[in-house]
Structure 1
Amino acid sequence: MARDLVVILTALNLEYEAVHRRLDGPRVHRHERGTRFEVGTVRGTSCRIALALTNKGNHAAAVMAERAVQEFSPVALVFAGVAGSLWDTARLGDVVMATHVYAYHGGTSEDDGLKARPRVWEAPHRISQIGSYLARANDWADSAPARERPPQVRFGAIAAGEIVQNSKISAEARWIRQHYNDALAIEMEAAGVAQAGHLSGAPVAVVRGISDRADGTKSSAKDRNTQPRAAANAAAFAVRLAVELVAEEEQIAMSEAGGNAPRADKTEGQVSNTAHNSTVGIMAGSVHDSTVRLGAAPVGSDHLALLAELDRIRADVRQHHVQGVLDDDTYREARAELAIADRATRENGPEASRTTTMALKRLRGLVADVPELVTRLAALVLAAGALS
């Protein structure tokens, strides 16, 4: 599994662009069958996003979701875009995160009417927990105009079918509201993505911005205002969710590597380890007697040791570029992150330490295909976090 990458899929170009605007350095990644993804990094984080367009419909979304999972083995699969609201619970511009998804077109036609036989997929507990946390933290949305109410996050069922719903009085509209009266929103792709996630074992999150009421009032004139806002809000929450998922994966990786992640406390110029007088492995490095070691060289609060390791990393990045392992764009971005880390390390202080740590995390995402560098950078991130 790529522990720093989340796939985000959208059905419309408008939705795609809303996510794309939040990525730094997006580069085209071509699937062998011609599908184009763009892979970029969320600004200020080590989280990478692989972005792709599915086009409309559950079937197309399912195929693209399965392809994305096989290609990237992501931390999670997120479907982000717009939807219609079935009730007044969610206002235009609000975001609905699915607690479960209905494929509402399942049924049986009998003499006394159409009986519902839906497929249902529940959201993974971990993703639901993170979504609820982000809703409470309420720091995900872009700044709203002064007179505009900030968007809210709603949690509930999302109904997915194969047709555009824009009526409250049609036979099908009445049937949907009768049999799926707990659904907050209705759209056309979530069931396909949920099924693909179920079959591949990939966690799935569905995030929808409310762009219309699905009640006959949907019009092109209104969509020009409501759709972009709803798409932007869905993209903002989806990207924030992806960042949190990757951050949690990093914590899990540290715990798996060393039992307990070392505290960023200084003890005699080194990084303090909660498991004193023991060795905690950090992949190629280790923490022993409160000292983080990279190879044979201890790196604690010693800025010179950290700078020396940055030089070694820089040389190895250059060598991998010469060998063709890293392409020109990746090499250029990697050098830029190394320069930021080097400069911040020389400046010293808590803020400089945070800058160094973030630069190293972004670098780790850039060289994710070079396990040796990822291993060394994981230990270096811990060491940089202890500098002040």
Structure 2
Amino acid sequence: MIVILTALNIEQDAVLEHLVDTTVHEHDKGTLFDVGTIAGHPGHRVAVGVTGAGTTTAAALTERAQAEFSPAVMMFVGIAGGLRGKLDIGDVVVATKVHSYQGGRSEDEEFLVRPRSWELSHRLDQKARRLCRAHAWRDWLPEHARADEPDVAFAPIAAGDVVLDSATSELAHRIRRSFNDAVAVEMEGSGFAHAAALADQVPAVVIRGISDLADGTKASKDRIGGQLIAARNAAAFAIALAVSLEPQPDSTTAASAPQASSLPPIHNTMTVSGNAQVGEQIGVQFNGLPR
């Protein structure tokens, strides 16, 4: 079993596009997971959950998913803002390191950073890099999306409970000064990585598609489908990585698992082509924070 967590419904939908025979698995505290198999790969079962925005809920539901499914691998998949000009909308970042950028000590005249970071496991790093040979992972993209030739970067990212949409704000300067190797910024990776590390060091990876450039143009990028493109590409890479792993037995037995919810399975069809508008994604909020 592999667990894939996302923060937003648009990210979850992108992952579910690759699954078949999905059923709803309800945790006894009410958390819902869609469990299915990867299309064409019946030996690869995946449980998909959505956490909402922020490091705290990501950490809590990562721990919950780990305890419920005892997965061989956990992934957090979704969108991020790019911090480097070389990254284009739709490019994918595999986080070799996740920096929690908010820790520190505030003094009269300065903020002293006290960083905490989590690194990608060597095994997952090696598997992920092989997928970039001849761009093999793009086979999981729709044909029209392959023509855009999205790239993959292996680099650190920064995570915290703030939506960064400025290249000149105090926070932007702090990340640039203290976490200069970060190429993307997002809101859940540090909570996920911390919880995964505490769960007997379960192999975990954060995979992000670039949806905007964290430079004040997020709203306009969202209007032209940046989130949808980024979520689609990140999900395609995550599924390619999942298939590259050895199939694992399903650790959730009939005796230990709660009864499946009567909620219907989710079947989604998401495509972005040409100049399609995605206006319905604008203004989605979680805990008061626009994404």
Could you say which TM-score interval applies, normalised by the shorter chain? Answer: 0.7 to 0.9
In the alignment, what sits opposite 1:234?
234
Indicate conservation of the 8 Å contact 1:80/1:207, yes or no: yes
What do the CA deviations read for 1:335-370 (whole angstroms, capped 9, x no partner)?
xxxxxxxxxxxxxxxxxxxxxxxxxxxxxxxxxxxx
Q: How does 1:1-388 map to 2 (within 5 A)?
A: 5-45=1-41, 46-141=43-138, 142-145=141-144, 148-201=147-200, 202-220=202-220, 222-247=222-247
| 2:287 alignment counterpart | none
Secondary structure of the residue that 2:245 maps to in structure 1?
A: helix
Q: How far apart in 1 are the matches of 2:119 and 2:90?
A: 24
Q: Who wins on radius of gyration, i.e. which is larger?
A: 1
- Offset, 1:22: 0.7
- Structure 1 residue 73: deviation in Å? 0.4
1:182-209 deviation per Cα after TM superposition (whole angstroms, max 9, x unaligned): 1010000000000011100211110000
Structure (1 or 2) with the greater helix fraction: 1
The alpha carbon displacement at 1:60 in A equals: 0.3
Contact 1:83 1:208 in 2 (8 A): yes
Check the 8 A contact 1:96/1:153 in 2, yes or no: yes
Deviation for aligned residue 1:222: 3.6
Q: 2:40 & 2:142 partners in 1: Cα distance? A: 18
Q: List alignment gaps of at least 5 residues for structure 1.
A: 251-320, 329-388
Deviations 1:252-294 (A, max 9, x none): xxxxxxxxxxxxxxxxxxxxxxxxxxxxxxxxxxxxxxxxxxx
State the aligned residue count.
Answer: 249
The unaligned stretches of length 5 or more in structure 2 are 261-291
AA of the residue aligned to 1:170: S
TM-score, normalization by structure 2: 0.81
| Greater length-normalized contact order (CA 8 Å, ≥ 6 residues apart) | 2
Tell me by how many angstroms 1:111 deviates. 3.0
How large is the RMSD of aligned CA atoms in angstroms? 2.1
Gap change, CA 1:198 and 1:223, over 3 Å in 2:
farther
Is this contact kept in 1: 2:211–2:222, CA < 8 A? no
Q: CA deviation at 1:139?
A: 1.7
> Could you tell me how far apart the structure 1 residues matched to 2:6 and 2:239 are?
12
- C-alpha deviation, 1:112, in angstroms: 3.4
Mapped partners of 2:4, 2:223: distance in 1: 23
- What is the distance in 2 between the residues matched to 1:13 and 1:71? 21
Query: Residue 140 of structure 1 aligns to which amino acid in structure 2?
Result: W
SS of alignment partner, residue 150 of structure 2:
coil
* Contact 1:75 1:245 (8 Å CA) reproduced: no
- Quick check: 1:29–1:36 contact (8 Å CA) kept in 2? yes
| 8 Å CA contact 2:211, 2:221 repeated in 1 | no
- Which 10-residue stretch deviates more, 147-156 or 115-124? 147-156
